[in-house]
Amino acid sequence: MTLQRLVLDYRGDDLVVRCLYRSSLDGPNSGTARRRREVEDLCRMGLRQALAALEGGADVVGVSGYTVREDILSLPRPGEAREPLPLLPATANAGSPSEKGA
């Protein structure tokens, strides 16, 4: 199995982790304990990689929102050096009140 994306969603006191991964066709069924353990291991690995990457710093490459904000961080893989990435274009709901016609 190969981790493609890990999304953390904080909903009140709950944490929802969405794990997108690629697996072979002969993997365990979705209702099995083995598959749950494999997905838990993928999540742990992804979180460890993210924490290690944050130790090396992060670039803000996208922003949106005014009072509720969403920033997109680009992190290098552990042990990988790279040049800072350019800022992505703002989304339709981003910007100051004057840009929104307020």
* AA letter at 68: V
Whole-number Å distance between alpha carbons of 16 and 21: 16
Q: Count of domains in the chain?
A: 2
**One domain, residues 64 and 89:** yes
Q: Does residue 95 carry a pLDDT above 60?
A: no
Rg (CA), the chain: 18
**One domain, residues 11 and 37:** yes
Global pTM value = 0.60
Residue 10, H or E segment? strand 2-11
**One domain, residues 89 and 47:** no
Domain holding 98, by residue range, is 57-102
**One domain, residues 70 and 98:** yes
In this structure, the strands spanning 2-11 and 14-22 are antiparallel
**One domain, residues 17 and 47:** yes
Residue 87, H or E segment? none
Confidence of residue 93 (pLDDT cuts 50, 70, 90): very low
